[in-house]
Structure 1
Amino acid sequence: MATATAAQARHAAKSEYDAYLANCPSRQLLDRISDKWVSLILVALGDGSRRYSELARELAGVSQKMLTQTLRALERDGLIDREVTASVPVRVDYSLTELGRSLLPILRAVKVWSEHNMDDVTAARARYDSRAH
């Protein structure tokens, strides 16, 4: 049985997961992490663990159902940990996993970019909308 060189192994891994292909599993992951609630939750958890109620307060506009679904999906994908502490009432804390932390610099950069460039985007939208189509 022939062994692959490191370059061959990298090439095989790259061709195995190509998000440009419709049936690629990495496309599902890209869809997940591009969701606004996912990115905001992960960035919020980048500052440390949070309770559900803290996340709900911090993420203005997120519904209870959406927050619960998103947290479950992130836990399933291995991006966050859910720690339950037996107390009255039960305490549940969410924190980033190592995998989740590896995504944090990218998501923080996108958040900062959007905050810094919103005026330019708003102006571009106004220019576009003012043209007759």
Structure 2
Amino acid sequence: ALDQEKKQIEKEMESLNLAKFERLILEKQFRVLSYLIEDKKEKVNIVSCDELNNLLEVLEQKKQRRQDIKSHLDSLNKELACSNFDFEKAMLYRDLIDSEKKRLETVNLSIQQLEEKLAEFERN
């Protein structure tokens, strides 16, 4: 249900006639919400059952999210490097890049913890 609503919101966002700058701000807020939802789903999977399959599923989700974050970060870096933004827009891009880097660090740490948990699970 949440995934369907997420896709619906994405479609509606695409149909909006927004300036690129406004779209970036909206996408940032939507990405934060998406990450929160994914985190909650992953925690439910881990808490509800500590089985190997659930851990592997959560690990794959986190790896996919890491790839999404890296792609978005690359895109932002390229746009910042290729554009002659005014000071305000450059600062916004810097803020977006910094927040994506923090998310990437969080996901990387989470992946590392899951991999350790899986290794422990496999040893037992």
TM-score of the aligned structures, taking structure 2 as reference length: 0.31
Q: Of the two structures, which has the highest relative contact order with CA contacts closer than 8 Å and spacing of 6 or more?
A: 2
Instruction: Name the one with the larger strand percent.
Output: 1
**Bigger-Rg structure (1/2):** 1
Instruction: Name the one with the larger helix percent.
Output: 2
TM-score of the aligned structures, taking structure 1 as reference length: 0.30
